[in-house]
Structure 1
Amino acid sequence: MAARRITQSSINWTALAERVPENQKGFFTAFKAKSDGYLRRMMANPETSPKIDWDYYKARVPVQGMVDDFRKKYESLNIPYPTDNVTPQIEQQEKQSLKEVQEFVKQSNVRIAGYEAEVGRLKGLLPFEQMTLEDFKDAYPDQALDPLNKPTYWPHTPEEQLDYDDSKVPKEDAHH
């Protein structure tokens, strides 16, 4: 008979517990307790099956050859340990996930560098209280009024401009 024993736990519960969020601690504790229960029940069984005293049964069973037949069948019984055909799939998923994580980290580092550059640019600007209209136009060209290239009319809202198109604005239902 094939037997496989766990000599020690291959799970680092402490490292796993550090990664569990606070709102999931109860679930984690229940999972660990269930896992420990399974391990205890498995370890309570002997590594090999107990030896059978065939001579004892041969002396007690009146039918000739019955014990020998059982013994022959019992000793020829072979229960193979299940083959592991899932681990390669898991390893492939792990490699794929690792590639995705590395790609995400690379993209995140690019975004972080862009955000740090933007923060540096914003820190280098004059405070709004000290800016003139020209300083504001230099810092925010898309938001500033540009009377030379794109003049606007008072009150400088989109609705009051000559090129305003009210067909792009959703109409409100008239309440009668």
Structure 2
Amino acid sequence: MKTWFLSVALFASLVSMAQVDTTTPPYQRYPTLPPLQLLLTDSVTQYTKADLPKKKNVLVMLFSPDCEHCQHEAGEIVANAEGFRDIQIVMVSTYPLYRITEFAETYGLSKMENVVMTKDPNYLLISFYAVRSLPFMALYNKKGNLITVGYGNVAIDKILSLFNSQK
């Protein structure tokens, strides 16, 4: 009987410690725009959620200046600038600010008034979105609610149709 109780106690303690990581990414638990704490390319100005234009769709794109898929996606955004005119685009990288600025100039993003180039100095968005690959895009409607997320190259037509379906 003593060994039976000991066996049950040992089994219960092992089962209670056997945990499976079933946590969902924060963006799925909180499907609204996260509190942004970004740095503009002037290296001084903070860019926060309060700086976003009100009642405007938002595209948050995490990118790397070295990523070929990111370069292609940036080129496609610029080529379809007219379709994005009513969408605020927040480009976010963890690279040095001079690399972010070079990227914006090389691909023509700096000419688009609705594009903001930023750095995430605290690496908060990577963990918030559980980013696995770049480019990563999060689409939000005018109310700040998540529409969807996309990894890698996402067709521009698909992005625009998702935003247009929110009208």
TM, length-normalised to structure 2: 0.20
TM, length-normalised to structure 1: 0.20
Greater helix proportion: 1
Q: Rg larger in 1 or in 2? A: 1
